[in-house]
Structure 1
Amino acid sequence: MNIKHQTAVWLNRITVMLLTLFISTQLHADDLWEVVRNEQGIEISLSKVSGSNYKMFRGEAMISAQAETIMAMLTHPDSCSLWRYKCKTFISLGDSYHLMINDLPWPLSDRFVITRNILTDEFTLQITHVPLSELPPEQTNNLPDHDEHDGMIEMDEYSGFWKVEQLNSDEVNVIFQMQANPAGSIPAAVINNGVVNNPFNSLLSLRKHVATLSNVN
């Protein structure tokens, strides 16, 4: 094993350790969270973020499924538009980088964001925002034609995680936590609704979609 390869291996290990520590810290900050919606077995909480005008959201739900099934849904690009709230397009750019386009109602402009999605363990997907200007050349070459995202606004922040825990042979607990900044000029009322609607509708649709798959099988 050469020095360059050894360095890359250790950097990857350190990255995973730091991401795991971040997730652990966020999961145990219960005293900072305010429950704002709790219905249909889905609980949505908000937390203030130091230095930001936008609150972090966390959605938690029980779903009848196997953890592997949920993770397949979370990591498969083609499934995003089927259940993810406002997800219009989700494209893999290679090496765990992804482009997501969110469909916003007129007269608002659609938003796009680039993230790097990494499995920190078998059932935890860490999502880290990557500004377009910092995207590696190889992934930049995989972006759609410029005309396809002309007029859209790049989000300033979109970082968080999905965590899936198998509770028993038939049920999992799913946590979706995110800090997002849509950028641009969006009315506060729209943003506040989105912060609650995003995790609630995403988890509700995920549950329904998984149930549909189970019925087909």
Structure 2
Amino acid sequence: MLMPMMSLKTSSLNNTLFMKTISYITLIFLCTNFSLTAQEQWELIKDKDGIQVYLEEEGTYAFKTFKGSTTIDASIHDFVHTIFDLERYPDWGHNVKSAALLERKGDTLQIYYSIAKAPFPYKNRDGVYRNKFSWNPDEKELTVSIEVLDDYLAENEQYIRVSGNGYWKVKVLAEDKLDVIFLMQVDPGGAVPSWLANLFVEDTPFKTLTNIKKTIDQHKSKTNHYSFLD
């Protein structure tokens, strides 16, 4: 009779240890998941005309990361056409003075040089930007990753070279309805103090999204078609 009782106690002990282990692992997972989520905390600083602008509350950079979101009444093809059309980039990119194509590989990569206007007495800024286009057909979501390339082009003494990265995320909600997110972290370079640059950081996402909506609306066309989006 002793052997079955010992077996029962051992089994019960094993079950208890198993449940405690599972609870511990679950707790670690929840805490880790919370920690990862907490790393990206956004403060809503502007909500106007259907555009929301956020700043990262606690980032690792001196210059704050911004994020703008809105909806655009257009097709995904119209959006991509606008990004590729560098001739019209100054029409919608906030403070963009000019842009010139340096390299393009099909419909998945675009490298261009751009000059941005800076207020007096600061020098204008310039940079070489690489856009990589990737399409998720299951989610119907486009990601355009943006990276400022450091060594692609020699620096011009007339300008201050910027650095940074970001992305566009565009999700198709309906045939002519897009959910758009624009995120960037940019170091303007030179002697601009971070606290001063951060005071004006909300203008870039708000005005860029305001202007790109207008530009897309003015140049919609059924001929704007990109096969990688099919």
The 5 A counterparts of 1:78-89 are: 78-89=87-98
Residue of structure 2 aligned with 1:208, choices 202, 209, 214: 214
In structure 2, the CA distance between the partners of 1:184 and 1:31, relative to structure 1 (3 Å rule), is closer
Greater mean deviation of Cα atoms: 168-177 or 198-207: 168-177
- Give the Å deviation of 1:214: 4.7
Structure 1 position 77 matched with structure 2 position 99: no
CA–CA separation in structure 2 for the residues paired with 1:172 and 1:200: 17
Q: Which runs of 5+ in 2 are unaligned?
A: 1-36, 105-109, 137-141, 224-230
Q: Which runs of 5+ in 1 are unaligned?
A: 1-27
CA–CA separation in structure 2 for the residues paired with 1:129 and 1:151: 18
Greater mean deviation of Cα atoms: 180-189 or 161-170: 180-189
The answer for the alignment partner of 1:117 in structure 2 is 131
Residue of structure 1 aligned with 2:75, choices 59, 62, 66: 66
- Give the Å deviation of 1:211: 2.4
CA–CA separation in structure 1 for the residues paired with 2:47 and 2:115: 28
Q: Do the aligned residues in 1 keep the contact of 2:78 with 2:220 (CA within 8 Å)?
A: no
Residue of structure 2 aligned with 1:174, choices 169, 172, 180: 180
CA–CA separation in structure 1 for the residues paired with 2:145 and 2:69: 16
Runs of 4+ in structure 1 off by over 4 angstroms are 28-31, 187-190
Residue of structure 1 aligned with 2:158, choices 129, 151, 164: 151
Give the aligned residue type for 2:191: S
The answer for the alignment partner of 1:15 in structure 2 is none
- Give the Å deviation of 1:54: 0.9
Q: Do the aligned residues in 2 keep the contact of 1:89 with 1:100 (CA within 8 Å)?
A: yes
- Give the Å deviation of 1:93: 1.0
CA–CA separation in structure 2 for the residues paired with 1:163 and 1:115: 17
Q: Do the aligned residues in 2 keep the contact of 1:118 with 1:127 (CA within 8 Å)?
A: yes
Q: Report the RMSD for the aligned CA atoms in angstroms.
A: 2.4
Give the aligned residue type for 1:210: I
Q: Percent identity?
A: 25
TM-score calculated relative to the size of structure 2: 0.69
In structure 2, the CA distance between the partners of 1:74 and 1:30, relative to structure 1 (3 Å rule), is farther
Give the aligned residue type for 2:172: Q
Provide, for residues 50-78 of structure 1, a one-character-per-residue CA deviation record: whole Å limited to 9, x for no partner.
1x211111000111111110111112211
TM-score calculated relative to the size of structure 1: 0.73
